[in-house]
Structure 1
Amino acid sequence: MYNREQFFQHIYGDLKDKIYRLCLGFMGNTSDADDLFQEVLIKIWNNLNGFRKESSVNTWVYRITTNTALQAVNKINKSRIKHTNLIPNNLRAESNQTYETLQDENIKKLYKAISSLKEIDRIIIGLLLEDNSYKEIADITGISASNVGVRVNRIKKKLADKI
């Protein structure tokens, strides 16, 4: 059995890339994704003793990641609403284009399109991109597997229209 540090290192080693991609999908830029990634890792560390093994480690980590991401997105949205009126109209569009280090133009478009989706749709597509099954996505999101399938088809159509 793992001690706390070994368990965390195991989770980090196996899931760090998936967690980061989910963070990037939610935030839409690397700077905010980096901050969110750190926050998620801190929450995982702080809650290691609370892992009850009722679900897989992947499911538990994805729940922490998505809940933390949703909280961060809500904070950002509240902040934007407060400060939007302070930014001149001609600068508003420029302030939202912060895809500094993403190399591929298609990936930029995809993440931008994903970040414009509703929260539940971002969660579902993010989990799908990480090769989770419909059942795993259903377990994480709390919706049925058949509903996940329907939503995935709708999300794909939305993304195709946006890209």
Structure 2
Amino acid sequence: MAVDANDPVASIPRDTQQSAEDQLHRHLAEGRYREAFEVLVAEYRDRIFTLAFGILRNEHTAEDMTQEILLRIWKGLPGYRRTASISTWVYAISRNVCFTELKRRAARATVSMSDPEIQDKVDSTVSSQMPGGELGHALDVQALLGKLPEHYRRVIVLFYLEDKSYNAVADMLGIPLGTVKTYLHRAKLEFLKLIRMEESRVNW
């Protein structure tokens, strides 16, 4: 069949006339995983980075997570089944990797309470934002925070010390927004009770 030189589509290689999804499925069906991965990277890399940055709000971390996501995708290609579209599959992997990173950062934030460099911030936070701040100022605030249940301690650290929003705390810990607010309220009440008890002990 002759090619019409005046037809711009006719001069385009056949692969490029297909959608990226079609190319991916064809390569995967033929077991050509490297070719499928190359198409996927060209089609989705920028979208993956945009999603990662939107969740993590840090360009360097988003770039690192983009590489991690692409690695997960490469390893997962042989096991991909067409129960979901490629885009849905890529999105699910991307979201899972990013939220796993958020939870890891949340865990690190909890550990960071023992860092003496943040003692001043802990004290000022208690004084300015938490009930009983004036009483707590002369006490070992870090030790008192350490007595809170871990789920309360994490929301206190992220919200007050890391300056995260309610929504960010919910995303990082993988819990509903309402639960974050409930934990913060209960944590402050529990913390105030600990301060009162410690104050009574000191003044005994």
Query: Which TM class, normalised by the smaller chain length?
Result: 0.5 to 0.7
TM-score by length of 2: 0.45
Amino-acid identity (%):
23
- Which residue of structure 1 aligns with residue 94 of structure 2? 65
SS in 1 for 2:82: coil
The code of the aligned residue for 1:29 comes to N
Relative contact order, CA 8 A, sep 6+: which one is greater? 1
| Runs of 4+ off more than 3 Å | 89-92, 112-115
The code of the aligned residue for 1:8 comes to F
TM-superposed CA distance for 1:117, in Å, is 6.3
Return 5+ residue gaps in structure 2 as ranges.
1-25, 123-160, 175-204
The reply to whether residue 118 of structure 1 matches residue 170 of structure 2 is yes
The 1:13–1:113 alpha-carbon spacing in structure 2 relative to 1, beyond 3 Å, is farther
In 2, are the aligned partners of 1:25 and 1:115 still within 8 Å (CA)?
Answer: no
The 1:22–1:88 alpha-carbon spacing in structure 2 relative to 1, beyond 3 Å, is same
CA distance in 2, matches of 1:27, 1:18: 14
The 1:91–1:48 alpha-carbon spacing in structure 2 relative to 1, beyond 3 Å, is farther
TM-superposed CA distance for 1:71, in Å, is 1.1
Tell me the number of residue pairs that the alignment of Structure 1 and Structure 2 aligns. 106
- Which residue of structure 2 aligns with residue 25 of structure 1? 54
The 1:91–1:45 alpha-carbon spacing in structure 2 relative to 1, beyond 3 Å, is farther
TM-superposed CA distance for 1:89, in Å, is 4.9
CA distance in 2, matches of 1:31, 1:114: 23
The 1:61–1:29 alpha-carbon spacing in structure 2 relative to 1, beyond 3 Å, is same
Deviations 1:27-68 (A, max 9, x none): 111111111111101100000011101111000000000111
- Which residue of structure 2 aligns with residue 74 of structure 1? 103
The 1:54–1:72 alpha-carbon spacing in structure 2 relative to 1, beyond 3 Å, is same
SS in 2 for 1:47: helix
CA distance in 2, matches of 1:14, 1:117: 32
TM-superposed CA distance for 1:84, in Å, is 3.1
- Which residue of structure 2 aligns with residue 12 of structure 1? 41
CA distance in 2, matches of 1:58, 1:67: 14
RMSD: 3.0
TM-score by length of 1: 0.56
Larger Rg: 2
